[in-house]
Amino acid sequence: MRLPLQKKVALAVATASLAESRPSFSSGTTGQRSRRWLPSSDKIRGVNLGSQFIIEPWMAGDEWNSMGCGSSPDEWSCVQSLGQDAADAAFQTHWQTWITANDIQEIKSYGLNTVRIPVGFWINEDLVNDGEYYPKGGLQYLDYIVGNCTELGIYVIMDLHGGPGSQFPGQQYTGHVVDSPGFYTLDNYERAYKFLEWMTERVHTNPAYYNVGMLQVINEPVHAGDYPSQAADMIANYYPGAWNRIRDREAQLGTADKDKLHIQFMGDAWGSGNPDQNLPDTTFAFYDDHRYLKWDTSIAATQDSYISAACNDNRGGSDIVIGEWSISVADDAQYNSEFDIRNTDANNDWYKKFFAAQAQAYERSGGWIFWSWKCNWIAGFNEWRWCYKSAVDAGIIPQDAASAAGMSPC
């Protein structure tokens, strides 16, 4: 999740039993299971597992403080400050408790069919260079979460959320807040390619990963308007390279066409350029659109304007998934009488409508993935505008995700 620049267990699911008890899915074919399947509703309805494998302190302040990282702006700085061994111990406790098997079960119980899992390249520790500071030991917890999703039939989008060198300046989601993006080099592209190859092989050979059907090659890269040369280089070189390395690894593994991964890129609306421009193929390409109405300055910060904007939003076709969105509103309006949620239920009915209007709009495309499933005490209170679980508890989001669009005020 992009903040404004100025704010800048061992696997519990035995793989043998998973292989024997794979769930059945609707694939759009004559009953054959395909990696290219979409949920049987033909709409993705999901949540991000934000701050599980890349902690963003803005949305997990209490958690960050409990780990001893309170004065650090990102994971890199926390590891550097605590030292590797102490940091690894602190992160292990976090990985065990932030998202649990109970969370995955609850996600399923709310009618959600998809999770997007943001990870940093450093979850493959072989890709970390000397002099870089990232926590170690997270892979077994990723295996555990993905395995639980597979057991429950939840579709998984694996998202390279933090790239080598950091793909966007000033952002906690990269794992290392930097002044200038360092991702856009041949060496860092190569490390990202190796991550994608490694994850592709893991998806096709590890039964716990059976439900991973989509692999996003990089989250929220720089905008062409701010970093034209870096964005152009990514479109010209990194994107086609990523496509080829994933497909080549699948060819080496003998992956059948029906089992190949969707490969996902940030779509045109993100502003980095046309992702298809240099791709050798677009068969089973997907596109990610992040739609935060709170940062759309063309929308007046009023209840009527936000509802109107949501109702009239058209994000594109079924190959576009709104991979991040929320029901938060503009910073300078969020505590005024129309939008305040602190110690008041006065605006709850409006937020229900705001959620439903966006869900309806995004289901005109391929579907939606809310940011995020869980957070804790943003700005010192239970800020459920960012937190799906808390918003359900507050009665804002319905317990049946499929019903949301039908509740729209549009």
Q: What is the pLDDT of residues 113-139, one digit of tens each?
A: 999 999 999 999 999 999 999 999 999
pLDDT for 356-399, tens place per residue?
Answer: 999 999 999 999 999 999 998 898 899 999 999 999 999 999 99
**pLDDT for the residue numbered 42:** 72
Return the CATH number at 117. Answer: 3.20.20.80
SS (H, E, C) 280-320: CCCCCEEEEEECCHHHCCCCCCCHHHHHHHHHCCCCCCCCE
Question: What stretch of H or E contains 139?
Answer: helix 139-152
CA distance linking residue 166 with residue 160, whole number of Å: 11
Provide the token pair at 60: 């997990």
Among left, alpha and beta (phi > 0; psi -120 to 50; other), residue 38 is beta
Which residue segment(s) compose the domain that 251 sits in? Answer: 15-290
**pLDDT for the residue numbered 377:** 84
Give percent of the chain above pLDDT 70: 90
Backbone angles phi, psi at 59, to 5 degrees: -110, 5
Task: Tell whether 85 is covered by a domain.
Answer: yes
pLDDT at 28 over 90: no
SS3 322: strand
**pLDDT for the residue numbered 33:** 53
Provide the token pair at 259: 């089992």
**pLDDT for the residue numbered 348:** 98
Task: Tell whether 236 is covered by a domain.
Answer: yes
The length of the chain in residues reads 410
Task: Tell whether 213 is covered by a domain.
Answer: yes
Q: Can you spell out the DSSP letters for 70-137?
A: TT-SSHHHHHHHH-HHHHHHHHHHHHHHSS-HHHHHHHHHTT--EEEEEEEGGGSGGGPPTT------
Task: Tell whether 181 is covered by a domain.
Answer: yes
Task: Tell whether 155 is covered by a domain.
Answer: yes
Task: Tell whether 209 is covered by a domain.
Answer: yes
Question: Which segment of 33-37, 102-106, 345-349 scores lowest on mean pLDDT?
Answer: 33-37
Task: Tell whether 157 is covered by a domain.
Answer: yes
Active site residue ranges? 220, 324
What pLDDT band is residue 1 in, cutting at 50, 70 and 90?
A: low
SS3 9: coil
Provide the number of structural domains found in the chain: 1
Neighbouring residues of 178: CB distance < 8 A, sequence distance ≥ 6: 165, 166, 169, 170
Task: Tell whether 408 is covered by a domain.
Answer: no
CA distance linking residue 333 with residue 354, whole number of Å: 15
CA distance linking residue 293 with residue 331, whole number of Å: 11
Average of per-residue pLDDT across 318-343: 97
